[in-house]
Structure 1
Amino acid sequence: MQLFYLLTLLIFYLTIVSTVDIKKKVTYNTPGVTDRLLIFPGTKWCGPGNVAQDNYDLGSDRNVDTCCRDHDLCEPKIRSGETKYGIVNHGSTSILSCTCDEVFSNCLKAVNSWTSQIIENIYFRLLGRTKWCGPGDIASHIYDLGRFNDTDKCCRNHDLCQPIILSKQTRYGIENKGRIAMLSCSCDSAFYKCLKAVNSTVSRIIGNSYFNLLHRKCFYFDAKKETLEWMKVPDFSDNSIIKFVSKFTRNPFKKN
């Protein structure tokens, strides 16, 4: 029942963002899955990263955005690659204190809107049941999987997939100036097929979020031409927000 409730909320969210201008979508500079999700409509802080001009810049949904902003700025935290309090953060995202998360949860509950409920459920329930399907990972080793282990395997393999060009990295003769890692088409294709093979509600949520909402492109290297080319990653469904619940139909990486 909880999963059905979460799915209902997420469908509502997808319905909203399907009308949002693609230029307002934001990415984050880690190779995980949900680091490539969107900033929530009406906010500037609720999502991976932020699009705020300064700490006082909030979206039209100010109450929810205040919760997200305070959570993003909350201390203490252990940033990626940092050693603090005797703990080394090997992950690609910050480790936040339990107090920060508790305040965030209470703030969202106090707002008590559709958006705050969606954010709370995705952050604390859906992603909390996987260890790889999120910005970076919280796994202790590569065999450490969450409750939705089949979907988690797909996310893990995608996170670790090579070749990849990280943000600000120069590789294969090109510089990635963006804030998000460039993944090869072979990595995205394997991820697509893995999620489809799992064929669960959670795998569909992850798949449609990653492939349908982002309109991402992947790269492949043509050894004969020694060139790097881009291909549009096709949709996971039949251009319908609701249809993703039952099926994904498009063949990934089929050239037009």
Structure 2
Amino acid sequence: MLSAGIGAQRWAIPYGTTWCGPGNISRASNVAEGYFKKIDRCCMIHDHCNDTIASLSMKYSYFNFRPWTISDCECDEEFRLCLQNSYTPEQKISKMMATRIGELFFNNLNNVCFRPQYNKVCASWNDAHDCTSYKMKTYIKIYDLALYE
């Protein structure tokens, strides 16, 4: 999410949604209140992704230099599928809105996602420099997001 004041948030969040864009303008932390409820719900679920790296912060020995949060690839793929299933063929305006949001997030921001990886590393050594115990270390691999179509 981009850090922005409430005025900037209202400007940057697409009309008919309360969760799509930097932050949210919803009155509740678990309710999609926008006119495009199904699309808004997709954005809300994505905003609640369990594994993220906030803008300008470090996690898993990776520094996220982007001005927005990056997410576990599973969350981004769920977001893509949710947007693609948020309208019926007859709902032309909903399709247009979902496509606009999907293209912005997946195509225009040059966004990435990550997948946690695990390595067994030595936690302690003896005097002969032999490893005496191991621990698991989490790191991530960064992936470019596939284009939204």
**TM-score band w.r.t. shorter chain:** 0.5 to 0.7
Partner of 1:39: 13
Give the whole-Å Cα distance in 1 for the aligned partners of 2:65 and 2:17: 30
Q: Describe how 1:1-256 pairs up with structure 2 within 5 A.
A: 28-29=3-4, 38-58=12-32, 59-112=34-87, 113-128=95-110
- Overall identity of the aligned pairs, in %: 33
SS in 2 for 1:69: helix
Q: Deviations over 1:26-82 (max 9, x none)?
A: x8439xxxx895211111001121101122332121100000001111120011343
Q: Which has the larger strand fraction?
A: 2
Give the whole-Å Cα distance in 1 for the aligned partners of 2:21 and 2:56: 21
Q: Which runs of 4+ in 1 moved over 3 A?
A: none
Change in 2 beyond 3 A, CA 1:74/1:82 = same
Q: Deviations over 1:213-247 (max 9, x none)?
A: xxxxxxxxxxxxxxxxxxxxxxxxxxxxxxxxxxx
Q: Which has the larger helix fraction?
A: 1
Decide whether the 8 Å contact of 1:39 with 1:47 is kept in 2: yes
CA RMSD of aligned residues (A): 2.6
Q: Which runs of 5+ in 2 are unaligned?
A: 88-94, 112-149
SS in 1 for 2:65: coil
TM-score (norm 2): 0.57
Q: Which runs of 5+ in 1 are unaligned?
A: 1-26, 130-256
Decide whether the 8 Å contact of 2:10 with 2:25 is kept in 1: no
Give the whole-Å Cα distance in 2 for the aligned partners of 1:102 and 1:120: 11
Q: State the aligned residue count.
A: 99
SS in 1 for 2:50: coil
Q: Deviations over 1:141-164 (max 9, x none)?
A: xxxxxxxxxxxxxxxxxxxxxxxx
TM-score (norm 1): 0.35
